[in-house]
Amino acid sequence: MDKTSRRKGRALRRGAPPVRNVDYRHLRHPFTAQKVLSDDAVAAIHDMALRLLEDLGLRVLLPEARAIYASGGAIIDEGTEMVRIGRDMVAASLATAPKSIRMRAPNPERELIYEEGALIFSPAGGCPNATDRIRGRRPGNLATFEETLKLHQSFDVIHKLGPSAEPQDVPAHLRHYAMMRGQLTLSDKPLFVYARGRGQIEDSFEMIRLAMGLSEDDFTDGSWATTVINTNSPRQLDKPMAEGIIDFARAGQLSIITPFCLAGAMAPVTVEGALVLQHAECLAGITLAQLVRPGAPVSYGGFSSNVDMKSGAPAFGTPTHIRLAIGTGQLARHVGMPWRSAAGSASNVADMQAAGENHMGLWANLVANATLTVHSAGWLEGGLTFGYEKFINDIEALQIIAELCTPLSSNPDDLAWAALSDVQPGGHFFATQHTMDRFDRAFYGPLVADLANHGSWEAAGAQTSTERATSIWQTVLAEFAPPDGSEGRGHRITRFIADRSAEGGAPPPD
Amino acid sequence: MDKTSRRKGRALRRGAPPVRNVDYRHLRHPFTAQKVLSDDAVAAIHDMALRLLEDLGLRVLLPEARAIYASGGAIIDEGTEMVRIGRDMVAASLATAPKSIRMRAPNPERELIYEEGALIFSPAGGCPNATDRIRGRRPGNLATFEETLKLHQSFDVIHKLGPSAEPQDVPAHLRHYAMMRGQLTLSDKPLFVYARGRGQIEDSFEMIRLAMGLSEDDFTDGSWATTVINTNSPRQLDKPMAEGIIDFARAGQLSIITPFCLAGAMAPVTVEGALVLQHAECLAGITLAQLVRPGAPVSYGGFSSNVDMKSGAPAFGTPTHIRLAIGTGQLARHVGMPWRSAAGSASNVADMQAAGENHMGLWANLVANATLTVHSAGWLEGGLTFGYEKFINDIEALQIIAELCTPLSSNPDDLAWAALSDVQPGGHFFATQHTMDRFDRAFYGPLVADLANHGSWEAAGAQTSTERATSIWQTVLAEFAPPDGSEGRGHRITRFIADRSAEGGAPPPD
């Protein structure tokens, strides 16, 4: 919820009006970045990644991308589609890649600066299914996609949009229209665009320009759209992903290079080996973007964890996941770039495992100083399902973390000498002036946590936090009001969508 | 479980034999200590705490303790029982308080060094009730107390014992015999003794000496028993707690001074104000211990969180809890002492709230570099109930954290050049020699987390991690074997307990 309606909603539900005004919209990391690798190990990984790009190279499936790499001096083998990239090319791309990116949003107050030190959360992304306690688990459709957007919009601690549910009832060649319309009309936060071929990307950019009334120059003043580029680890870049890097770079929009290096599966089984591969693939993606357009917004990224060696299933919130996140941060700082990481859960249900895995990932990214934490709320089953109740419980965790980003004031009054003098030994501070002056804003008010004693909790139905979360998302959806300007944004893209749909839309590549 | 039987138990349950050998018994903090207070704010809090002790003082209910304070130069008002302590006395006590304490255990391999940098976990303590999915919620009794000891003993990541369940079916004047017998015969980890009057303390010390065959000198070579001293915040030290500090210091045993300063209730509503009070009470307790016996083992401590301002209920894992933990660490380091903190949950059930609150507390203590984290597993309802299923899920979190304490080797083989060269673009690393050489020990094997896909998970009964935890604690208890030496330890205290029981035991003070 935005601040006003959240307060109102909570007050309605709980009968108390906490008057707090903590900015959850623009967060800076509260902790210093931690290390799992020695400085020597970071240098060795960086060096071996460069050697990997020079000696082994990357398979690049898109001829246009190979040609761009060649134009920068890469050695191409067209027969094998292998591209070998010199360390001089990498160094040149790192010199032009921006360290700070203005992430635009329909609502200027939602703008973000994507740079080292920023702490940005985006929701569960890429889920084909959705689940909640009322309707069960089902394939995502447009109604679900739009509901998830309402949930994203309703909590300030979700800073940018992500595709939490796939609207699979909309045909693939028209789906991007529905997804952009949903984002522009149900939210005012920074926008996400899937890199599913040039046609969809161009359509999506045009819808943003139309909805926001932007000239070409306006559109490239900062980044209005963000996409995630997953390499096909190991050492392969497929056509849509290569096209995504190229098209986003040309248009001055942000692509987030994200190898998905599961140690033991698509990457070596060791933390260091997985990081060599991830780093090499990141640098290759960044290099492509900078060859297309020096200075194009592009992010370093990683979403590395390990597989379960018995089943091959991806695991999250594990010691390896935590170490890879911290190591990724070290490598991103080594090359001086902002970077993305992720939290997430492999659990099939919103239970203690789900909470534990998510918290481990969130804290890993806190101590790693990740710029952007993707999948920070709602991700179940390793991303196969968006969970409504998990989303609400995860929001609680994000809000608690967000509270830590406001420094303590530590002024003399906070030391509370008068109160300490007034209260007698064995007494209490409930009624002191110092407490009375502050009680309504001193503490974070929980969203879903229940602090009732056991008797009261039982009398109220003995609900778990997963069960309580149901009525919270129901209330949020029931009370949802579209943000200012959404009607106009929707109106300004209606004709375009109708025309383009009539023309056949934009099928994704095979 | 100990390492061998844990492996066996897991192999039996899961059909796979992971051969890993990570030392969970002796952990060092993997992260650098973080700050929420500026250095100036730390100095200001320290100074105001000293002023509070000098100008306002502490009410000390035990005449003997007042006399000891007086012997060190404190100003006593016998009418009000107020003790005012000069900063010179505090400085002298901090000069003699040990910075490193050898924490003895029946099994020498379980010994701990209690000092800055150590990372020690103890289980839920002080719970009057227990709950599990089979038997429900009930008052703790001796059988429950002994079951919890078996659970503590069975996981290496629980480093010292704590009284997870109160054996309320044993009369109060005999209860300490049952509690010490249970610890000595079901475990070989460092021991806990409640400070419930001089008679019980002396009996408990004597049982340790008898069971371990210790001379008086042996008994004071390191600390064999640990107690927690809770001040009656604000500014009051009751008789049993004062007696505990005195008796433990005289016997060279460790008392952990722990004001329970809930901000907004027993302490000022601000983080800084609560820390002033906590710091003052800690310093007063440490001073008493050092006046009794310079060099006596004593720990700085805190367990501060906030109350819910609507209900007055204690809250855990909150932003205020996290900040108070980090601030406590700053103050402990300011006075150069090892220190205890706590995790815990207010939830009534082993759900996402319970997991979230515990993770927030655990990570707070990680980034705060707490020496000892009390209540790290099993604590529900703000300590009113020990939860079996929560214990198992919390152990998972502790084990994941423990894994982070073993540094990466980062040798050249870990960089995996050969594997990276062998695997073709788009291939996988499952079958490489590099993976095959390491797969059985590369990754942490989950205790309760289930990584199965949704179909397999549903087919297997669609259990939550709380439900799965039931069979795990049942298996642990069913397979439990007492540690080496437990029979002899039990035998050597049998007569003492019989004689002392016949003499009337040792009633706790009123």
B315, pLDDT greater than 60: yes
Measured distance CA(A343)–CA(A390) in Å, rounded:
13
Mean pLDDT of chain A: 95
Residues 6+ apart with CB under 8 A from B143: none
Number of domains in chain A: 1
Chain A nearest-CA residue for B14: A310
B9, pLDDT greater than 80: no
Least Cα separation, residue B198 to chain A (angstroms): 23
Residues of B in contact with A393 (CB under 8 A): 352-353, 356
**Which among B200, B210, B195 has a CA at the least distance from the CA of B177?**
B200
3-class SS of residue B470: helix
**Which among A403, A317, A405, A395 has a CA at the least distance from the CA of A359?**
A317
Measured distance CA(A386)–CA(B66) in Å, rounded:
62
Query: Which of B46, B326, B351 to probe the A interface (max A CBs under 10 A)?
Result: B351
C-beta separation of B123 from B228 below 8 A: no
Residues 44-63 of B with CB under 8 A from A: 44-45, 48, 51-52, 56, 58-59
ipTM: 0.95
Q: Could you tell me how far CA A428 lies from the centroid of its own chain?
A: 44
A15, pLDDT greater than 90: no
A16, pLDDT greater than 50: no
Q: Could you tell me how far CA B331 lies from the centroid of its own chain?
A: 19
Interaxial angle between packed helices B465-479 and B142-154, expressed in degrees from 0 to 180 and rounded to the nearest 10: 90
Measured distance CA(B206)–CA(B251) in Å, rounded:
11
- β-sheet bridge partners, residue B263: B267, B306
Contact check, Cβ <8 Å, A452/B277: no
The answer, for B5 touching chain A at a CB cutoff of 8 Å, is no
Measured distance CA(B183)–CA(B164) in Å, rounded:
12
Residue with structure tokens 């790499």? A69
Nearest to A352 among B273, B352, B419 (CB): B352
Tell me chain A's radius of gyration from C-alpha atoms. 24
Chain B nearest-CA residue for A232: B426
Residue A203 lies in a domain: yes
Question: Pairing relation of β-strands B58-60 and B236-237?
Answer: parallel
Least Cα separation, residue A60 to chain B (angstroms): 9
Residues 6+ apart with CB under 8 A from B444: A318, A319, A320, B20, B22, B399, B400, B403
The answer, for B491 touching chain A at a CB cutoff of 8 Å, is no
Nearest to B37 among A34, A410, A426 (CB): A410
B4 pLDDT band, cuts 50/70/90, is very low
Measured distance CA(A79)–CA(A393) in Å, rounded:
51
Residues 167-226 of A with CB under 8 A from B: none
pLDDT given at position A196: 97
A10, pLDDT greater than 50: no
Q: What is the pLDDT of residues B363-398, one digit of tens each?
A: 999 999 999 999 999 999 999 999 999 999 999 999
CB atoms within 10 A of CB B463: 17
C-beta separation of A492 from A213 below 8 A: yes
B8, pLDDT greater than 80: no
**Which among B399, B393, B398 has a CA at the least distance from the CA of B350?**
B393
Measured distance CA(B465)–CA(B355) in Å, rounded:
11
Higher pLDDT, B409 or A49: A49
The answer, for B359 touching chain A at a CB cutoff of 8 Å, is yes
pLDDT given at position B19: 57
**Which among A146, A179, A383, A267 has a CA at the least distance from the CA of B443?**
A267
The answer, for B235 touching chain A at a CB cutoff of 8 Å, is yes
**Which among A429, A419, A426 has a CA at the least distance from the CA of B60?**
A426
Measured distance CA(B203)–CA(B211) in Å, rounded:
12
Contact check, Cβ <8 Å, A425/B232: yes
pTM over 0.80: yes
Paired tokens of B128:
């009057």
Residue A429 lies in a domain: no
Residues of B in contact with A417 (CB under 8 A): 48, 51, 276
B7 pLDDT band, cuts 50/70/90, is very low
B21, pLDDT greater than 90: no
**Which among A415, A469, A509, A493 has a CA at the least distance from the CA of A210?**
A493
Residue A152 lies in a domain: yes
Chain B nearest-CA residue for A231: B426
A55, pLDDT greater than 60: yes
Residue with structure tokens 């006075």? B335
C-beta separation of B182 from B145 below 8 A: yes
Q: How far is CA A113 from CA A153, A329, A367, A374, B204, in A?
A: 19, 18, 20, 16, 61
Paired tokens of B165:
């369940």
Q: Return contacts of A464-468, CB within 8 angstroms, 24+ apart.
A: A464/B349, A464/B351, A464/B352, A464/B353, A465/A393, A465/B347, A465/B351, A465/B352, A465/B353, A465/B354, A465/B356, A466/A133, A466/A349, A466/A350, A466/A351, A466/A389, A466/A390, A466/A393, A466/B351, A466/B352, A467/A133, A467/A389
Least Cα separation, residue B325 to chain A (angstroms): 12
What's the one-letter identity of residue A163? P
Q: What is the pLDDT of residues A20-30, one digit of tens each?
A: 778 999 999 99
Question: Pairing relation of β-strands B112-115 and B314-315?
Answer: unpaired
Residue A315 lies in a domain: yes
Residues 243-282 of A with CB under 8 A from B: 263-273, 276-277
Residues of A in contact with B270 (CB under 8 A): 413-416, 434, 438, 442
Query: Which range of residues forms the domain containing residue A126?
Result: 94-406+491-501
* Three-state SS letters, A196-238: CCHHHHHHHHHHHHHHHCCCHHHHCCCECEEEEECCCCCCEEC
Contact check, Cβ <8 Å, B465/A52: no
Contact check, Cβ <8 Å, A352/B137: no
Contact check, Cβ <8 Å, B31/A367: yes
DSSP state of B171: -
Contact check, Cβ <8 Å, B351/A464: yes
Residues of A in contact with B345 (CB under 8 A): none
Least Cα separation, residue B398 to chain A (angstroms): 11
First to last CA, chain A: 39
Measured distance CA(B39)–CA(B35) in Å, rounded:
9
CB atoms within 10 A of CB B451: 23
Q: How many CB pairs under 8 A join A and B?
A: 388
Least Cα separation, residue B456 to chain A (angstroms): 10
Helix (H), strand (E) at residue A420? helix A417-422
Residue A7 lies in a domain: no
Mean pLDDT of chain B: 95
| Range A206-229 average pLDDT | 97
Measured distance CA(B339)–CA(B115) in Å, rounded:
8
Residues of A in contact with B357 (CB under 8 A): 449
Paired tokens of B291:
């006046």
Tell me chain B's radius of gyration from C-alpha atoms. 24
Least Cα separation, residue B217 to chain A (angstroms): 38
Least Cα separation, residue A497 to chain B (angstroms): 37
3-class SS of residue B196: coil
Tell me the residue length of chain A.
Answer: 510
Helix (H), strand (E) at residue B492? helix B486-502
Residues of A in contact with B309 (CB under 8 A): 439-440, 442-443
> How is chain A split among helix, strand and coil, in percent rounded to 5?
45, 15, 40
Residues 135-174 of A with CB under 8 A from B: 137
Paired tokens of B22:
């990570």
Min mean pLDDT across A436-440, B109-113, B265-269, B402-406 is at: A436-440
B310, pLDDT greater than 90: no
* Three-state SS letters, B360-407: HHHHHHHHHCCCEEECCCCEEHHHCEEEHHHHHHHHHHHHHHHHCCCC
Measured distance CA(B173)–CA(B197) in Å, rounded:
10
Least Cα separation, residue A335 to chain B (angstroms): 19
Contact check, Cβ <8 Å, A58/B432: no
Q: Could you tell me how far CA A50 lies from the centroid of its own chain?
A: 28
Indicate which CATH number applies to the domain containing B281: 3.20.20.480
Residues 69-88 of A with CB under 8 A from B: 82
Nearest to B420 among A268, A315, A359 (CB): A268
**Which among A460, A451, A317, A350 has a CA at the least distance from the CA of B351?**
A350
Measured distance CA(A472)–CA(B85) in Å, rounded:
52
Q: What is the pLDDT of residues A64-77, one digit of tens each?
A: 999 999 999 999 99
Residue A70 lies in a domain: no
Nearest to B319 among A82, A272, A404 (CB): A404
A173, pLDDT greater than 70: yes
If 0-12 CB within 10 Å is exposed, 13-18 middle and 19+ buried, where does residue A4 land?
exposed
Buried-exposed string B202-222: b where 16+ CB fall within 10 A, e elsewhere: ebbbebbbbbbebeeeebbeb
Q: In what order do the strands lie in the sheet with B254-257?
A: B27-28, B118-121, B372-374, B339-342, B298-301, B254-257, B225-229, B191-192
Least Cα separation, residue B229 to chain A (angstroms): 15
B3, pLDDT greater than 70: no
| Range B299-309 average pLDDT | 92
Query: In B412-464, which ranges are continuous DSSP H helix?
Result: 417-422, 433-436, 454-459
Q: How far is CA B347 from CA A465, B363, B392, in A?
A: 9, 18, 16
Residue A506 lies in a domain: no
Measured distance CA(B223)–CA(B254) in Å, rounded:
6
C-beta separation of B268 from B340 below 8 A: no
3-class SS of residue A113: strand
The answer, for A448 touching chain B at a CB cutoff of 8 Å, is yes
The answer, for A474 touching chain B at a CB cutoff of 8 Å, is no
pLDDT given at position A19: 57
Residue A107 lies in a domain: yes
Buried-exposed string B153-180: b where 16+ CB fall within 10 A, e elsewhere: bbbbbbbbbbbbbbbbebeebbbbbbbb
The answer, for A451 touching chain B at a CB cutoff of 8 Å, is yes
